[in-house]
Amino acid sequence: MAIVYARSERRTRCAKQGMFEMQTIVCMKWGTRYPAEYTNRLWSMIKRNTTRPTRLVCFTDDGNGISEDVIVQPLPSINLPERVMWLPWRKLSMWQAPLADLSGDVLYLDLDVVITGSLDPFFDYKPGSFCVAENWTQPGSGIGNTSIYRWHVGQHTNIFEQFNADPETVLRNYRIEQQYISALVDEMQFWPSEWCVSFKHTLMPKWPMNFFKSVPLPEGTKVVAFTGKPDPDEAEIGKWPVSSPWKRLYKHVKPTPWITEHWR
């Protein structure tokens, strides 16, 4: 059952009455990797980096500990095989319609991003289009990275419908969900490259300089995505968890002060 808190409900009702144009940002939280604090920090960063009325809707299987100013909704239903039940394939459920009370252009943010600049331009850029970060490991390949994207609710519902009807065929043909989405969207627009960067693939100094130089934050950056490891809380203190000792020879990050400044 959805949990919708009073203050957020009043804000949404005012927007529907035309008192102002509400910007909607959504995130998803499932499983145990990211605690409620990640959602709360995301909301805090959103508030500091928007000048217009903005709400955050969190789709989750556990709303405990999430700020009362965040609108909490249950995870949308989707036909997921057990082996991918808690993987990013679950994000495909965002493409169904109707979806809660969402309408128009909606911005999606992963929980493990750090917001370092204004989010308002993400709502002004090519309105009505599907906009996404170009995947940093596949430049020029027409693949979006769904750490941060904006879609128009009710468009491209075939992304959800095809997967929901036959997930096994999709899983055989595509390695990850963002490749599948990129293949089905005819007109995909990439954000300006300086807006959205990858901590690991864009900013990290190349080996061996990552042992000597801290990760910089270029001017103009608005969102930093933390794909894989390290997570923001780990990179902040200079920790990069590794699964085997030999990876310590090249997987290293120095403490990153700008994360402390922005990720709060």
Q: What is the pLDDT along the chain (264 residues), one digit of tens a residue?
A: 333 433 344 444 444 434 458 999 999 999 999 999 999 999 999 999 999 999 999 999 999 999 999 999 999 999 999 999 999 999 999 999 999 999 999 999 999 999 999 999 999 999 999 999 999 999 999 999 999 999 999 999 999 999 999 999 999 999 999 999 999 998 899 999 999 999 999 999 999 999 999 999 999 999 999 999 999 999 999 999 988 889 989 999 999 999 999 999
> What does the alpha-carbon distance between residue 178 and residue 176 come to, in Å, rounded to a whole number?
6
> What does the alpha-carbon distance between residue 103 and residue 98 come to, in Å, rounded to a whole number?
8
The token pair at 181 is 């989405």
| Contact present, 138 and 84 (Cβ < 8 Å) | no
Sign of CA dihedral 57, 220, 147, 32: negative
pLDDT at 13: 47
- Ranges for all domains in the chain classified under CATH 3.90.550.10: 6-190
The token pair at 227 is 């794909």
The token pair at 26 is 């959504």
> What does the alpha-carbon distance between residue 264 and residue 242 come to, in Å, rounded to a whole number?
25
pLDDT at 8: 44
pLDDT at 20: 55
The token pair at 4 is 């919708």
Q: Which residue has the tokens 């627009």?
A: 189
CATH number of 6-190: 3.90.550.10
Peptide bond into 76 cis (omega under 30): no
Residue whose C-alpha is closest to residue 97's, from 42, 45, 53, 152: 152
pLDDT at 21: 83
pLDDT at 143: 96
Task: Output DSSP code: residue 222.
Answer: -
> What does the alpha-carbon distance between residue 205 and residue 198 come to, in Å, rounded to a whole number?
12
pTM summary value: 0.91
State the first-to-last Cα distance of the chain, in angstroms, to the nearest integer: 29
Q: What is the CA radius of gyration of the chain?
A: 18
Residue whose C-alpha is closest to residue 160's, from 97, 87, 73: 97
Beta-ladder partners of 29 = 60
> What does the alpha-carbon distance between residue 51 and residue 66 come to, in Å, rounded to a whole number?
23
